[in-house]
Structure 1
Amino acid sequence: MNQPASAYFIEDRHDPNETHTLSVLVQNEPGVLARVIGLFSGRGYNIESLTVSETEAQKHLSRITIVTTGTPMVIEQIKHQLDRMIPVYRVVDMTQTKRSIERELAMVKVRGQGEHRVEALRLADAFRARVIDATTESFVFEITGNTDKINQYIDLMRPLGLVEVSRTGVAAIGRGPEGM
């Protein structure tokens, strides 16, 4: 049988990168964060955002929230490798649950006078950013929201005299009465 050459050709499809927020419950002990970070750096995975905090002092537990990007296969590998680590109790992909709330805090310093100063205050009001420091030459605003909102706010502040930005990274929590 003669088959067309295309019948033997397997199409090479590259899965697009996706951004996922992973919540990792770990034992709160020295070296755990270094081991988690080592997993990412050793395999060439990128971390877009990282936050860590003790969540249950009595149980000595901390929550590591990691925002990472990769193909669906890479994301699955990351989750499985994290899950196999000894000090890790649970790994939850907050992106897949679709029942989570994600927030980030940023402090944004803007220098400006005259109309730029007035416009910076107007935009801060529109984005519900608070003035946490003011001088005659600059403002420091505090803004909380999802990453897209903060990125948009920063982009709008650039032409008005953006000086610097400090961000906390993403914090995420599941909706509803269940805990992690």
Structure 2
Amino acid sequence: MKHTLSVLVQDESGVLSRISGLFARRGFNIDSLAVGPAEKQGISRITMSVRGDNRTIEQLIKQLHKLINIIDVKDVTNLPCIERELVLFKVFTSNDLRSHILEVANVFRAKVVDISSQSLTLEVTGDPGKIFAIHQLLSQYKILQIARTGKIALIRDSKVNTEFLKKAFSYYNTSI
């Protein structure tokens, strides 16, 4: 199972190296990684996606807590969260295909950030499901390049679970 970890660290050199070293020693691969300043100066938030069962992830979290400069570690996988990613897609286009690709971009509220006679570059921001869906649709065209950030996540203070809302609205819309 894929887990999302949110790690608060002191913003000092070597912290990320120690974390990645821990993962390497344990034989874990980090599927996605995003690092940036947090709400307090001198603190950074690392959001990472890793695969493993619950027991293994619990052990990994305990090991992370033991590292120098680690302030807090949370597995936010099953908590109500806001998750976002940013992806740039450079897609081959011709005059025949351009309008079809622009329709896909419009449906997903993607921004066209570059255009040439041979390609369109789209900027897509959203939850991982949205990113997956547009990637699937654009795959029917020739994707020339992809650049993707890691997932970022914050716990919802409202405690509203987005997945619950999606299911509720889906049920409501199909029952009408």
Is this a same-fold pair by TM over 0.5? Answer: yes
Task: Look up the SS of the partner of 1:176 in the other structure.
Answer: coil
**2:21 corresponds to:** 38
Task: Look up the SS of the partner of 2:157 in the other structure.
Answer: coil
Name the CA distance, whole Å, in 1 between partners of 2:158 and 2:92: 44
**2:105 corresponds to:** 124
Structure 1 residue identity aligned to 2:99: V
Amino-acid identity (%): 42
**2:165 corresponds to:** none
Cα distance, 1:120 vs structure 2: 0.6
Cα distance, 1:86 vs structure 2: 2.2
**1:169 corresponds to:** 150
Of 76, 89, 92 in structure 1, the residue corresponding to residue 71 of structure 2 is 89
Q: TM-score, normalising length from structure 2?
A: 0.85
Cα distance, 1:57 vs structure 2: 5.2
**2:31 corresponds to:** 48
Cα distance, 1:56 vs structure 2: 4.0
Q: Indicate if the aligned counterparts of 1:27 and 1:89 stay in contact, CA closer than 8 A.
A: yes
Cα distance, 1:101 vs structure 2: 0.7
| 1:63 has 2:63 as partner | no
| 1:25 has 2:8 as partner | yes
Which portions of structure 1, spanning 4 or more consecutive aligned residues, are displaced by more than 2 angstroms? none
Name the CA distance, whole Å, in 2 between partners of 1:81 and 1:90: 12
For structure 2, the 5+ residue unaligned runs are: 160-176
Name the CA distance, whole Å, in 2 between partners of 1:57 and 1:95: 24
Cα distance, 1:83 vs structure 2: 1.4
Cα distance, 1:69 vs structure 2: 0.7
Structure 2 residue identity aligned to 1:76: E
Q: Indicate if the aligned counterparts of 2:114 and 2:120 stay in contact, CA closer than 8 A.
A: yes
Cα distance, 1:115 vs structure 2: 3.0
Name the CA distance, whole Å, in 1 between partners of 2:139 and 2:95: 16
Name the CA distance, whole Å, in 2 between partners of 1:116 and 1:138: 10
Q: TM-score, normalising length from structure 1?
A: 0.83
Of 107, 121, 132 in structure 2, the residue corresponding to residue 151 of structure 1 is 132
For structure 1, the 5+ residue unaligned runs are: 1-17
Task: Look up the SS of the partner of 1:160 in the other structure.
Answer: coil
More displaced 10-residue stretch of structure 1: 18-27 or 109-118: 109-118
Of 72, 79, 96 in structure 1, the residue corresponding to residue 54 of structure 2 is 72
Cα distance, 1:77 vs structure 2: 1.1
Cα distance, 1:171 vs structure 2: 0.7
**Looking at CA atoms only, which structure, 1 or 2, has the larger radius of gyration?**
1
In the comparison of the two structures, how many residue pairs are matched?
A: 159
Q: Indicate if the aligned counterparts of 2:15 and 2:68 stay in contact, CA closer than 8 A.
A: no
